[in-house]
Amino acid sequence: MGHEMTEHDQMYSVREAPWHLGTGTNVLMLDTAPETRMARVEAAGHAFTVEEHDVYLRREQPAGEVSQPAPTFPKVDGWKALTRSDTDDILNVARGSYEVVQNVVGHELFEALSQGAKLDDGTGGTVKNGAVCYLSARVDEPQQVTGDDSPIYPYVVVLWTHDGSGALQARRTSVRPVCWNTISLGEAEARRSGRNFTFRHTKNVLARIEEAKRVIAGAREETAAFVELANELARMPVSDEQRERFVTTFIPKPEAEVISDQVLDNILRERSKVRAIFDGPTIPEAHRNTAYGLVQAGIEYLDHLRAYRNSDTYLGRTLLRDEPLKRRLVPMVRELAASSARAA
């Protein structure tokens, strides 16, 4: 399951419902964000501590003249078991040197990094039976592209784990975490942009908060750069003829002299998919004949309309991987607009 929520996992979501609401997951919908740390801890399912236990290994040893061997349970040095205090579920068996980061530490970091953020659109919760915990807050710095009435909001996200799969992390991303897939997507996006800050599990885990603040704040510059590029493309008009040239360049014919009817039919079908995007609801009316609209149409086709082998392939190219064809979109559109300008 993409949400990776067990019966002991829960989350809260302020105003916006997660996609898995109503599928049996434990989701608390709120009109406003929890006002206190205690309320947030309870709503997010973080009201447990991680307890450490010695590890013992069963061994069979002969018991002298007794016919049945007597088992012994010697302690395993250098290892410890980590359990949830409320359910006693085992979260991890870790090295003895592993430093546990309790949930309260995640909340302290979240409060430090989300100062000034708008918490009314945030989330908090657990996945994988409490082994992974997260909190998010929307940063009230909406960016908007001319002609597109949908604002772009960044989120501050804090994530920590109890199963050894990752360190305490803080990031600024455009992805609102509500499940395991969106957590993974946000991490991939933040790592590509260099805006994912990792704290090692040590006793002084919060000693680098100021450094983390600087790294996350740097994402503002990247968001502004994206909006500047988008507005530049939005100011580039393209004619219907240029738009058609984009379609045929984007979905080209093979260079072979002879093309089978099946291959030609496939090309024409894929081109029709791209053309249909311009008349659909996802491209704003103001951008159906702009360079920005061409780029958006290309991304939508690559993400959602291009054929894929299975759900893992679809998820990878849509969310988790840096797609080469997407990187070539902006240069392609720029060149098309420039060549048309030279011809004029």
Sign of CA dihedral 152, 156, 161, 167: positive
184-215 pLDDT, tens digit per residue, is 767 766 666 667 788 877 777 777 788 777 77
Average pLDDT over all residues of the chain: 82
DSSP 282: S
Band of residue 317 on the pLDDT scale cut at 50, 70, 90: very low
- Coil, strand or helix at 148: coil
pLDDT at 12: 96
Pick from 87-91, 108-112, 179-183, 286-290: least confident? 179-183
Which pLDDT band, with edges at 50, 70 and 90, does 139 fall under?
confident
Provide the sign of the torsion angle of the four alpha carbons 133, 101, 99, 130, taken in this order.
negative
% residues pLDDT > 70 (the chain): 83
Strands 27-30 and 11-14 turn out to be: parallel
Taking the C-alpha atoms of residue 112 and residue 209, their distance in angstroms, rounded to an integer, is 8
Helix ranges restricted to H, the chain: 37-44, 103-113, 180-193, 209-217, 219-234, 240-250, 261-278, 291-300, 311-315, 324-343
pLDDT reported for residue 102: 94
Contact predicate 291/233, CB 8 Å = yes
Write phi, then psi, for 263 (nearest 5 degrees): -65, -45
pLDDT of 39 above 90: yes
Q: Which is higher by pLDDT, 175 or 26?
A: 26
> Of the ranges 105-114, 121-130, 198-207, which is most confident?
121-130
Cα–Cα distance measured from residue 51 to residue 279, given in angstroms and rounded to the nearest whole number: 57
Query: What span, in angstroms and rounded, lies between the C-alpha atoms of 279 and 269?
Result: 16
Average pLDDT over residues 129-137: 94
pLDDT for 313 beyond 50: no
Average pLDDT of span 236-240: 90
The two tokens of residue 257 are 């002299």
Q: Can you read off the two tokens belonging to residue 126?
A: 């657990």
Q: Is the pLDDT of residue 244 over 80?
A: yes
Examine the pLDDT at 314 and tell me if it is beyond 50: no
What is the model's pLDDT at position 258? 75
Confidence class for position 2, pLDDT limits 50, 70, 90: low
Give the pLDDT of residue 308: 57
Query: What distance in Å separates the CA atoms of residue 174 and residue 48, rounded to the nearest whole number?
Result: 29
